[in-house]
Amino acid sequence: MSIDTPLRTESLSLRRRPWIVRCGWVAAGVASLLLVAVTIQWQTAAEPNPIPTEFPTVWATMDMGRFEEAEKLHDTLMRQKQHGQAYLILDAALCLSYKDFEAAESRIQAATSKGALRPYALEILGKSFHGRQRWYDAERAFATLAQENPQSHVAHFWLAVVYNDLHMFGQAIREVRLATELQPNAPRARVLLGSILVRAGRYLEASLQYQQALKLVASDAALHVTSTVSWTAALVRCLLQAGQFDAAMAAIATVAEPSVELQVLRAECLLALGQPAEAERECRRILDHDENQLAALVTLVKASMQQKAAPEYAQLLEAELAKNPTNSEVMYLLAQIHGQLGNQQRQQELLTQSKRLKQLQIRSIELLDDVWWQPDNVDGRLELAGIFDELGDIAQAKMWRQAADGCQQRIKALQDNRP
């Protein structure tokens, strides 16, 4: 399947599974080392399995997310006994689409595919390992696919995904650039490259990747509906960071029904363009519909403070700070308001806390520079996890711990000389 294939979220157990009765289950306790050895060390010199004429049609149908249609075609192929290997591989792909990773891997192991079907099997296996956060196994599967098929954009894209998840950004950029060179019309590869460039603070370069992805997705109805709004928001954030405020407004205008996130970004653009009154009106309109939109409240306070003192927002911001005591932006705005109100002690408390958070943020940037090209720097990743814990960013902290765990897996596997 291509890099743009969606995965289904419903469980396979909720749908019919005719192939389970026919094929049976491989024992659930098979060790992962045996699975990797069996699947990745296939002998390419063996008699190749031909690709049945129906196979590309079924694969392409799944590629487009048309799973119901794919299952019907798959069942037709299954009845052709001479194509058992192809059947098992398509079976594995269907299991993967349901995120039934163990079933997908068991079918690939049963297939032990060689020849023309091998790249498809390696792709499914790598995606399944990635879904189970078995980082080293996923890296090895996709690296094998890339080594045997240097022109495979799928292999390089998924290597980039694995390296990005491990926060090995230098390696991720190298692989995703290869993927975009091999298949320039794959939008998600450009979005991935854009997101990595954002981490590096290279906002203009990132915006070019998002713009290209949006051009590509405009001609793809399946991706257009789900991706346009979120990718446009990412583009606008890059343009705002790069000081391209007019371009950011123009990007928002391309979306017929902007999300709340895009509406808040439009208010931020108006504020940056020196139109605080218009920004304030936009934020008030958003908050009238949903008073819990913190980003809109923050922008509203900024807009109000540009026009006049904003003491009426002190209570609201104190309430928000109580919910999230590490929100440095709210903390700084609140300190300014207390300064206007003459509450010097409270202002100083907030500024001291804000300074501590700023120091943590600076340290996180320094560490990010350290680990960027250091795939084995486990300590740096763990320190980043601790910093984000202190900053109250639980998602980032979890992500960095996962990255550290993945690096430890990778180091141990390399030390053990795993096949």
Q: What is the pLDDT of residue 146?
A: 95
Q: For residue 82, give the DSSP letter.
A: G
**Cα 411 from Cα 96, distance rounded (Å):** 27
Q: What is the pLDDT of residue 67?
A: 59
The pair of three-digit structure tokens given for residue 103, joined into one six-digit string:
């079933």
Domain boundaries, the chain: 1-132, 266-308
Strands (E) in 90-209, as ranges, are none
**Cα 372 from Cα 377, distance rounded (Å):** 9
The pair of three-digit structure tokens given for residue 21, joined into one six-digit string:
């009765």
Q: Closest by alpha carbon to 252, among 271, 235, 238, 273?
A: 235
Q: What is the pLDDT of residue 225?
A: 54
Q: What is the pLDDT of residue 83?
A: 54
**Cα 110 from Cα 25, distance rounded (Å):** 10
DSSP letters, 201-240, are T-HHHHHHHHHHHHHHHTT-HHHHHHHHHHHHHHHHHHHH
Residue 49: beta bridge partners?
A: 115
Q: Closest by alpha carbon to 51, among 149, 122, 117, 111?
A: 117
Q: On the CB side of 200, how many CA atoms lie within 13 Å of its CA?
A: 21
| pLDDT one digit per residue (tens) for the chain, 419 residues | 544 444 443 333 333 343 333 333 333 333 333 344 434 444 333 445 566 666 766 666 666 566 565 566 666 656 554 556 777 777 788 777 778 888 888 877 765 556 778 888 899 899 999 998 888 889 999 999 999 999 999 999 999 999 988 888 888 999 999 999 999 988 999 999 999 999 878 899 999 999 999 998 876 655 555 678 899 999 999 999 999 999 999 999 999 889 999 999 999 999 999 999 999 999 999 999 998 899 999 999 988 888 776 777 888 888 888 888 888 888 888 888 888 888 889 889 888 888 888 888 888 878 877 787 777 889 999 999 999 998 888 888 998 898 888 888 878 877 776 54
Q: For residue 417, give the DSSP letter.
A: T
The pair of three-digit structure tokens given for residue 305, joined into one six-digit string:
């403070």
Sign of CA dihedral 394, 400, 403, 407: negative
Q: For residue 74, give the DSSP letter.
A: H
The pair of three-digit structure tokens given for residue 148, joined into one six-digit string:
């045997």
Torsions phi, psi of 49, nearest 5? -90, 125
Q: What is the pLDDT of residue 101?
A: 86
Q: What is the pLDDT of residue 155?
A: 95
**Cα 212 from Cα 231, distance rounded (Å):** 11
N-term to C-term CA, the chain: 26
Q: What is the pLDDT of residue 382?
A: 93
Q: Closest by alpha carbon to 303, among 269, 331, 327?
A: 269
Q: How far is CA 275 from CA 266, 300, 391, 401, in A?
A: 11, 12, 32, 42
Rg over alpha carbons for the chain, rounded to the nearest Å, is 25
Residue 115: beta bridge partners?
A: 49
Q: What is the pLDDT of residue 25?
A: 31
**Cα 280 from Cα 286, distance rounded (Å):** 10
Strands (E) in 87-167, as ranges, are none
